[in-house]
Amino acid sequence: MESTNEEFYQVIVVGAGVSGLAAARNLLKNGVTNILILEATSKPGGRVETLKFGKASDRNEAGLIEVGAQWIHGEQNEFCQILKASNHRHSKTSWEGKGDFICPNGMKVEDDMVDEVLGWLEEAIEKVEATFSIETIQKEKNGERISEENMSMGEHLHEGFLAYMAESYPDLMEGSSDYDLRMGLFQWGMSFQRIDNSCNKMNDVSLYRWSEFEVNPGEHYNNFRKGAQSFVNEVLVGDILHSFILYNSPVKNIAWNDSGVIITTKDGSSFSAQTTLVTCSIGVLKSNLDSFFTPSLPEKQAKAIRCTGFGPVTKIFLEWTNPWWSPDFKGVQLVWPKEYIDCCNGKIAQGEQNLEQTWHKTITGFDPVLDNHNVLLAWLGGPEAVHAEILPKDIIANRCVEVLRDFIRSKNIPNPVSATVSTWNTNEYFQGAYSFRSTEGDVITGDICSALCDPVTTNNLHETNKPVIVLAGEALSKSHYSTLHGAYESGIAQSSKLVQYFNSYSSLIKSPIARAKFSTNEQLKDSIQPFSIRADEDAKFAVPIAKNIRVPS
């Protein structure tokens, strides 16, 4: 229902994903309490979604699947610290991409060959991290830094592997099984990387920005004990943030000027604030860039959004009545014939593929699911991932089981009883899975993140460099983009800029509209209830609860 909200908020956070929730907690913790979170969907957590599906391994109760993020990668980050402190960390870790590597004729590839090819790839990637940086290609020309050449990660790895093959096996001919198997394994590694980087093809990934991502030390596969969604609901939202979030409120437009923002949601409601912190995915920002902000974002931020990569990943969960695999099953990885290699290297242009016939040929494998007795998970990347989202689930399930029967050479694998397929790519509030540093970003000087992270500022009679639009989200984490902990860190870092700004202007609210409501800061402070400390929570997250947060009916 259309309504105009009379409250003048200090900050409106757009999006209740991990980044938006982290930002809101940080604002409240620092005394910025007149805030509102507008969330498009009906739940918090964004790209976190845990569903009941399958059966828990040793009980006959429902199992859980993570349709979005599953792991916290690394332990030396605040997000993992909160996971541990809140007792939400699972005692078990899990894995992906393990088990036997099998060809469509049922042949298992020798472990030595798997280790050789995947070891080569790992080393080549490590060398990239040590060798290339954006400064390697950008040269000073007429006072501007420009890129001299533009090689992608995909091209670099592909060329490198062909050179390795020529040097190590000069007598092996293309078409011989030893040659083709190695190329097939390399293709598996590239498909895996394509999913890991959420890109359409590895040729879209910047070689020169690869080293910007830093692997966080510690366990790489930290699971959530009760599912990631429970952690979000119980710990990040908890009792405290709950009353600040307005669900089912997709933002349509953010009008901004030197006195603040007016945010209009799709139902026509409008909300005013001094400043807004926008945490929508880069996919959402890219496709709404022309309509979302009035006036448009400054070119610096707009260009950085356009030049940040954001692509598709799809998870397919298949459930069987009973597992047909053994209890020590680690997974099965598919070594597709070499003919399909060109998709991941970008040699077959998008649109030239007949996805209807071929979408399943980039499934990298089938992995077991933690604490889930009768479910296997398959991953897809690239255009195939988008295509799978629009297919009926029975077609997906049938095609997957045909693939399994072909590779495992067993006609006895039963049909799955149900399938769940993620839909991040076709969902208008996500438009993809996660960000990557794209070759398009090679034209931006230095750290691509700082262009995204710089607040859009205005000046008025009372304030200079007032942040009016601040972006946040996983893509704005310089070294942990694409992850949960990166999203969390970006929410904290970007909201801290607002806290710092508010602190530097000792009066909390200076806008004329706000002054009409609260003539003194004391009045504003009076509107805040005393600190509420949740017994089960670390005291550092204790925050004042704002009263009378009004929401439109």
The answer for residues whose C-beta is within 8 angstroms of residue 257's C-beta and 6 or more apart is: 458, 468
Minimum distance between the CB of residue 55 and ligand FAD, rounded to whole angstroms?
Answer: 22
- Name the residue among 35, 498, 469, 515 with its Cα closest to residue 257: 469
Q: How far apart are CA 423 and CA 430, in angstroms?
A: 9
Minimum distance between the CB of residue 162 and ligand FAD, rounded to whole angstroms?
Answer: 31
Q: Does 250 bind ligand FAD (CB under 6 A)?
A: yes
Q: Does 361 bind ligand FAD (CB under 6 A)?
A: no
Name which of 73 and 361 has its Cβ closer to ligand FAD: 73
Name which of 38 and 137 has its Cβ closer to ligand FAD: 38
Q: Does 199 bind ligand FAD (CB under 6 A)?
A: no
Q: Does 156 bind ligand FAD (CB under 6 A)?
A: no
Q: How far apart are CA 37 and CA 242, in angstroms?
A: 10
- Name the residue among 351, 377, 380 with its Cα closest to residue 363: 380
Q: Does 424 bind ligand FAD (CB under 6 A)?
A: yes
The answer to whether 373 and 54 are in contact (CB under 8 A) is yes
Using CB under 6 A, which of the segments 35-43, 133-141, 504-512, 531-539 binds ligand FAD? 35-43
Which of residues 26, 70, 197, 333 is near ligand FAD by CB under 6 A? Answer: 70
Handedness of CA 435, 436, 439, 445 (dihedral sign): positive
The answer to whether 81 and 538 are in contact (CB under 8 A) is no
Tell me the sheet residues that pair with 30: none
Q: Which two tokens stand for residue 206?
A: 């910047």
Using CB under 6 A, which of the segments 5-13, 62-70, 232-240, 366-374 binds ligand FAD? 62-70
Q: Does 422 bind ligand FAD (CB under 6 A)?
A: yes
Q: How far apart are CA 11 and CA 21, in angstroms?
A: 13
Of residues 455-474, which lie at the interface with ligand FAD (CB under 6 A)?
A: 473-474
Q: Does 365 bind ligand FAD (CB under 6 A)?
A: no
Using CB under 6 A, which of the segments 63-71, 133-141, 142-150, 392-400 binds ligand FAD? 63-71
Task: Give the length of the chain.
Answer: 553
Q: Does 19 bind ligand FAD (CB under 6 A)?
A: yes
111-131 vs 177-196: helix crossing angle, rounded to 10:
50
Name which of 250 and 552 has its Cβ closer to ligand FAD: 250
Determine the size of the site formed for ligand FAD (CB under 6 A): 39
| Range list of H helices, 256-298 | 282-292
Burial code (b: 16+ CB inside 10 Å, e: under 16) for 264-279 equals bbeeebbbbbbbbbbb
Q: How far apart are CA 159 and CA 157, in angstroms?
A: 6
Minimum distance between the CB of residue 104 and ligand FAD, rounded to whole angstroms?
Answer: 26
The answer to whether 37 and 495 are in contact (CB under 8 A) is no
Which of residues 281, 420, 458, 511 is near ligand FAD by CB under 6 A? Answer: 281
Name which of 284 and 297 has its Cβ closer to ligand FAD: 284
Which of residues 5, 482, 494, 495 is near ligand FAD by CB under 6 A? Answer: 482
Using CB under 6 A, which of the segments 123-131, 164-172, 427-435, 457-465 binds ligand FAD? 427-435
The answer for residues whose C-beta is within 8 angstroms of residue 273's C-beta and 6 or more apart is: 8, 9, 10, 11, 12, 36, 260, 261, 263
Minimum distance between the CB of residue 105 and ligand FAD, rounded to whole angstroms?
Answer: 31
Site residues (vs ligand FAD, CB under 6 A): 14-20, 38-41, 46-48, 68-71, 73, 250-251, 279-281, 284, 313, 315, 422, 424, 429-430, 433-434, 473-474, 482-484, 487
